[in-house]
Structure formats: structure tokens, C-alpha cells
């Protein structure tokens, strides 16, 4: 049995009529940019998170970039973030001329170790940018306390955590700004690129609406140099349909994760944790194994899908060589990069499929 890392076709097949109809409606309306679909999605995603504003943008990367701009982070500022994330988190900081300051992670959740943040705060620090990696919330309680006492903005990277919770509150609603990606394989994914920023701050929302549309509030009057970064109506129409199912999708992921953990709880495998009060939404199901590269090789030979998210932490990427950070500087992140292995994960996985992947992993150990 071959099980792919993700299967986007099952979802489409299940909603084909509804989606095809919605696409026809958008095309027939010829309203392709900044129309009613986008507005409806902004409202429903803001409401889902209990915040006032949602602003659709062209990607998750743009969501982070424009959020940093709207928060007033700029040249020479420092932003504290995690080294163990997709590179876009760090890139967004670089785009605004700020410097990413990487703080090591916790070994259990793979998220930024909040207890190490304070010692890295300087006069230049403007913001903290935690990532809820793999779908597990970062320690927002501690991060919130630090941010309040040091007067820092918190911008959350929720690209992998749509629907994840901490203490009954959804990720993206803890900081001043929450950033989402609708890349096709994300928990809430569209059929191209897309993203959204959510906030309770009216002025930040206004600034975002201007930044995404060439710095313009009134057509052809430009208050600042902005960007072309809008969520198009076709993507928004698809997302409006999928929003009706997001909780079921996440429930499916959690069910598959529980099967994996049941089958893989053996010596030599570290299965994912779900800390007390947290709801993990398993964008990825990621285990740790000491001899990862050998295990991966055997899985590849046996044609069992697996991926490494991420093999090189940001601080050791060639793109960030100017920061001058050496191997050994953030040991927990580096060890994670050497040990993590992600397995197939999508809402529709069956117990039989999970069992076959898990059997393969146990054989490859």
C-alpha cells in the first residue's frame, strides 16, 4: 500500500460540485480581485478566531511581511523568532530590513523556548514572532507576559496551526497580529497561493488593507509605497467552502495522529506531544529517531512516503551566513533537524493506511 504525504484529491472529489459551482459563479461575476468572496472569508476567519479584522493577502509569506510592516518593524530593528521553521518566517523579517534573532527551541514541541527569550532582548528588539510548528501552539502565555513587560509586539506565524488551541483560545488570537497561509497543503488550503492576517487593532487592519493594495485607500491615491498582495476571489470562494469543514478536517488529522502514536509508541521512537491545555492540529505528524538518515533511507527504498521538515535550521542556512552563526550555537534546534521525520498526514487517512506506514517505520528502525 502506498500512502502519499498528502492527498488533496479526496477533498476535492468530496466537494466537487460545490467547488465547481462556486468557481463558475466567480468567473461569471467577473469580480476577481477584492470582491464579496474575499470579504466573506475575512469576516468568517476573524469570527472563528474571535477577533475583529481579517485581511486577505497573496500568501502566508506576504501575511508575515505585511504584518511586520504594519506593526512598524523596520530597518535596524530586531525580531526574536525560532530557527526551526520554514524559511519564510525569517525572510519576512529580512524583507522589512530587520534582523532575525534566533532563540533555541524546546525539544518537546519544537517551538521557541520562551524561557530563553528575555536574555536576547536588546534596545533594538521590536517584536517576537513565534511559530506554532506542525500545528502545536507555542507557549503564548510566557511570550505574552514577556511582550507586555518589554513592550514588544507579538506576531504569530500560524501557517501550520489553523484551528490549534491553547487554553481554549485559537492560535492567531494571542498576539497583536496572526498570520495564516492557505498554501494547498496547509490545514486550510486553497488551489494556489493565499494568506490572511488577523488582528483586533483597527489601525493595523487599515494599514494592512492599504499595504496589500499599493498603499491606497482611495483608488489612484497612494499614501505610501505598498504592494500588490491580494487574495483573489477564486481562492477565497474555495476557502469559503472549506471553512465549513475545517474542524472536521482537523478532527481527521487528530484521529490519524492518535493511530500513529498508538502504533509507534515503541523504544527508539519519540512520538509528538500535546501539552496540557493544547489542541494540536497536526499539520505534520513528526517523530524523532536517533538514526534518522538511515531510517529515512530504508523508508525511501521501501517506498514509504516521508519528509524532513526541516533539515537545516534557519540560522545555518546559506541565506543567513551573514549572521555568522556556527553549528552548535542553537543545539536543540540542530538536534531536531537531525532527528525529525514527518509521515503522511491528511484528514482522510484510514487506520489501515496509518498502520501500514507505521509498520514500515518500525521495520526501518
Ligand X SMILES: *Cc1c(COP(=O)(O)O)cnc(C)c1O
Residue among 183 and 260 whose Cβ is closer to ligand X: 183
Q: Which three cell numbers stand for residue 289?
A: 529517531
Q: Which residues of 151-308 form beta strands (DSSP E)?
A: 153-157, 165-166, 169-170, 177-181, 195-199, 216-218, 221-222, 278-279, 285-288
Q: How far is the CB of 130 from ligand X (least distance, A)?
A: 10
Q: How far is the CB of 86 from ligand X (least distance, A)?
A: 4
Q: How far is the CB of 250 from ligand X (least distance, A)?
A: 16
Q: How far is the CB of 62 from ligand X (least distance, A)?
A: 7
Find the residue with minimal CB distance to ligand X.
Answer: 60
Closest CA to 138 of 79, 82, 201: 82
CA distance 116 to 101: 12
User: Residue numbers of the site for ligand X (CB under 6 A)?
Assistant: 59-61, 85-86, 88-89, 131, 157, 159-160, 181, 183, 193, 195
The arrangement of strands across the sheet holding 278-279 comes to 169-170, 165-166, 278-279
Q: Which three cell numbers stand for residue 22?
A: 462556486
CA end-to-end span of the chain: 19
Strand partners, 102: 81
CA distance 48 to 170: 8
Residue among 41 and 269 whose Cβ is closer to ligand X: 41
Residue among 269 and 278 whose Cβ is closer to ligand X: 278
Residue among 88 and 209 whose Cβ is closer to ligand X: 88
Residue among 59 and 213 whose Cβ is closer to ligand X: 59
> ∠ CA(301), CA(304), CA(306), 5° rounding?
105
Which helix (H) or strand (E) segment holds residue 355: the answer is helix 351-364
Closest CA to 78 of 96, 55, 54: 96
Q: How far is the CB of 60 from ligand X (least distance, A)?
A: 2
Residue among 95 and 356 whose Cβ is closer to ligand X: 95
Q: How far is the CB of 238 from ligand X (least distance, A)?
A: 15
Query: Helices (H) and strands (E) in the chain — how many of each?
Result: 11, 14
Residue among 60 and 360 whose Cβ is closer to ligand X: 60
Residue among 102 and 259 whose Cβ is closer to ligand X: 102
| Secondary structure of residue 336 in the 3-state scheme | helix
Q: How far is the CB of 164 from ligand X (least distance, A)?
A: 12
Q: How far is the CB of 28 from ligand X (least distance, A)?
A: 28
DSSP-assigned states of every residue in 247-267: HHHHHHHHHHHHHHHHHH-ST
Q: Which residues of 82-152 form beta strands (DSSP E)?
A: 99-102, 125-129
Q: How far is the CB of 67 from ligand X (least distance, A)?
A: 11
How far, CA to CA in Å, does 181 sit from each of 24, 283, 302, 310? 24, 12, 32, 18
Residue among 193 and 274 whose Cβ is closer to ligand X: 193
Amino acid at each position: 500500500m502506498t500512502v502519499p504525504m498528502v492527498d488533496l484529491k479526496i477533498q476535492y472529489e468530496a466537494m466537487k460540485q460545490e467547488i465547481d459551482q462556486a468557481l463558475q459563479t466567480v468567473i461569471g461575476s467577473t469580480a476577481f480581485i477584492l470582491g464579496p468572496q474575499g470579504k466573506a472569508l475575512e469576516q468568517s476567519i476573524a469570527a472563528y478566531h474571535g477577533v475583529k479584522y481579517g485581511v486577505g493577502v497573496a500568501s502566508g509569506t506576504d501575511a508575515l511581511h505585511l504584518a511586520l510592516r504594519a506593526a512598524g518593524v523596520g530597518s535596524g530593528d530586531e525580531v526574536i523568532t525560532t530557527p526551526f521553521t520554514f524559511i519564510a518566517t525569517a525572510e519576512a523579517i529580512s524583507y522589512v530590513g530587520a534582523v532575525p534573532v534566533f532563540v533555541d527551541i524546546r525539544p518537546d514541541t519544537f517551538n521557541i523556548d520562551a524561557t530563553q527569550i528575555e536574555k536576547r532582548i536588546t534596545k533594538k528588539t521590536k517584536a517576537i514572532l513565534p511559530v506554532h510548528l506542525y500545528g502545536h501552539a507555542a507557549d503564548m502565555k510566557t511570550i505574552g507576559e514577556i511582550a507586555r513587560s518589554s513592550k514588544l509586539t507579538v506576531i504569530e506565524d500560524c501557517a501550520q496551526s489553523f484551528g490549534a488551541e491553547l487554553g481554549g483560545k485559537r492560535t492567531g488570537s494571542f498576539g497583536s497580529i496572526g498570520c495564516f497561509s492557505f498554501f494547498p497543503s496547509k490545514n486550510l488550503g486553497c488551489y494556489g497561493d493565499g494568506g490572511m492576517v488577523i488582528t483586533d487593532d483597527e489601525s493595523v487592519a487599515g494599514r494592512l488593507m492599504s499595504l496589500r493594495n499599493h498603499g491606497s485607500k482611495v483608488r489612484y491615491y497612494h499614501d505610501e509605497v505598498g504592494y500588490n498582495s491580494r487574495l483573489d476571489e477564486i481562492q477565497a470562494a474555495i476557502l469559503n467552502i472549506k471553512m465549513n469543514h475545517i474542524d472536521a478536517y482537523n478532527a481527521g488529522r487528530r484521529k490519524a495522529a492518535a493511530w500513529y502514536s498508538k502504533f509507534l509508541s515503541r523504544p527508539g521512537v519519540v512520538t509528538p506531544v500535546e501539552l496540557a491545555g493544547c489542541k494540536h492540529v497536526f499539520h505534520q505528524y513528526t517523530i524523532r529517531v536517533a538514526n534518522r538518515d538511515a531510517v529515512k533511507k530504508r523508508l525511501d527504498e521501501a517506498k514509504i512516503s516521508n519528509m524532513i521538515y526541516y533539515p537545516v535550521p534557519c540560522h545555518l542556512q546559506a541565506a543567513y551566513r551573514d549572521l555568522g552563526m556556527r553549528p552548535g550555537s542553537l543545539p536543540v534546534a540542530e538536534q531536531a533537524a537531525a532527528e525529525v521525520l514527518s509521515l503522511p498526514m491528511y484528514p482522510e487517512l484510514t487506520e489501515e493506511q496509518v498502520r501500514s506506514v507505521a509498520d514500515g517505520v518500525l521495520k526501518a528502525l
